[in-house]
């Protein structure tokens, strides 16, 4: 077995380099040939994965969801499996694959790569790219868009909750048309999440009944919520207990298009990747991963 590890040195708490001695010892003990390369800028992981795909039995992303997404885009269309050592800040796609998270669990994550055969899972397409986990429009996407501005004034881990609080006070639901497998729905949107995976935002269970290998995308649509009910919604949302609320609807579909008179920001796996209009489509069983399903 020959593996390439692609390490993002600035992912999470910037401690991904601490994984290198553990990886090297694990591979040496098991007779696994390995190479470890670092990324230097956005897009590097995609290029490294694409250029080296045919030379390895698996390519492993060391970092968070952004690193995983870049490597996946480099491997899409090949038969080379994607592995994940989840050492980022969110690690939500690793949760969908039941991969242990954090530096303290890296040995268990490596065992999944070394001992389990890869499995075939779905991806989702948008704008000529793929994503693996969750895309969204609305409340949460605007939080992510505005977070860099908040970080200019609020440093450290407090920036995100401050951004949430500001958005809680200022957010106005958006008018949008959502077309699901050709069926049109005109609605006001508090939040619309187009899910392949189950969690986002560091473990919030947006799509608790989701599956990464059923061939479908799950649309979780939250319509306007009275402002005084938003804290309750967020509490239920984090635990995955929101699906039975009267202003929450879910749909299973192969394709989702979102159109609005406004240019709405689109969050894709934790990054502001596009704006509306946008179309998402399922790519069933289109990528191999090391995981537990």
Question: Both tokens of residue 235?
Answer: 């509490």
Which residues have a Cβ under 8 Å from the Cβ of 139 and sit 6 or more positions away?
A: 167, 171, 190, 191, 222
Query: What architecture is domain 2-116?
Result: 3-Layer(aba) Sandwich (3.40)
Angle, alpha carbons 179-199-163 (nearest 5°): 90
pLDDT (mean) for 210-219: 97
For the segment 132-169, what is each residue's pLDDT rounded down to a tens digit? 999 999 999 999 898 888 888 887 667 777 888 888 88
Domain ranges of the chain: 2-116, 134-285
Mean pLDDT for 269-293 is 95
**pLDDT tens figures, 245-263:** 999 999 999 999 999 999 9
Q: Which helix (H) or strand (E) holds 133?
A: none
- Is pLDDT of 9 > 70? yes
% residues pLDDT > 90 (the chain): 82
CATH topology (fold) of 134-285:
Tumour Suppressor Smad4 (2.60.200)
Give the H/E segment covering residue 77: none
What is the structure's pLDDT at 173? 96
Q: Is the pLDDT of residue 176 over 90?
A: yes
pLDDT of 62 higher than 70: yes
Residues 95-133 have pLDDT tens digits of 999 999 999 999 999 999 999 999 999 999 999 899 999
Q: What pTM does this model have? A: 0.92
Q: What is the mean pLDDT of the chain?
A: 94
First to last CA, the chain: 22
Question: pLDDT confidence of 26, banded at 50, 70, 90?
Answer: very high
What CA–CA distances, in Å, run from 78 to 57, 113, 289? 11, 18, 12
**Structure tokens, 11:** 């992912």
| Helix, strand, coil percentages, rounded to 5, for the chain | 35, 35, 35
C-alpha 98 chain-centroid distance: 14
Instruction: Give how far Cα 291 sits from Cα of 22, 81, 220, 235, Å.
Output: 19, 10, 25, 29
266 or 169: which leads in pLDDT: 266
pLDDT band at 79 (very low <50, low <70, confident <90, very high): very high
Q: Are 49 and 58 in contact (CB under 8 A)?
A: no
């Amino acid at each position: 077995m020959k593996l390439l590890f692609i390490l993002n040195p600035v992912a999470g708490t910037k401690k991904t380099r601490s994984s290198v001695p553990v990886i090297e010892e694990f591979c040496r003990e098991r007779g696994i040939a390995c190479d470890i390369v670092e990324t230097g800028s956005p897009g590097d992981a995609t290029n490294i994965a694409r250029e080296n795909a045919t030379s390895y039995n698996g390519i492993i992303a060391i970092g968070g969801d952004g690193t995983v997404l870049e490597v996946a885009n480099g491997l899409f269309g090949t038969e080379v499996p994607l592995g994940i050592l989840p050492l980022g800040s969110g690690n939500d796609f690793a949760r969908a694959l039941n991969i242990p998270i954090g530096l303290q669990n890296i040995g268990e994550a490596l065992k999944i790569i070394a001992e389990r055969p890869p499995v075939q899972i779905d991806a989702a397409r948008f704008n000529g790219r793929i994503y693996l986990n969750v895309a969204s429009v609305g409340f949460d996407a605007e939080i992510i868009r505005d977070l860099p501005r908040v970080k200019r004034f609020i440093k450290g881990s407090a920036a995100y909750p401050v951004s949430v609080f500001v958005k809680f006070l200022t957010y106005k639901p958006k008018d949008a048309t959502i077309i699901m497998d050709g069926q049109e729905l005109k609605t006001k949107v508090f939040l619309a999440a187009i899910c392949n995976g189950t969690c986002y935002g560091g473990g919030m269970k947006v799509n608790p009944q989701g599956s990464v290998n059923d061939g479908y995308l799950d649309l979780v649509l939250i319509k306007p919520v009275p402002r005084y009910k938003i804290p309750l919604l967020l509490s239920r949302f984090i635990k995955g207990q929101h699906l039975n609320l009267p202003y929450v609807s879910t749909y299973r579909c192969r394709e989702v298009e979102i159109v609005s008179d406004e240019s709405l920001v689109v969050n894709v796996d934790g990054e502001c990747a596009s704006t509306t209009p946008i179309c998402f489509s399922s790519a069933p069983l289109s990528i191999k991963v090391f995981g537990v399903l």
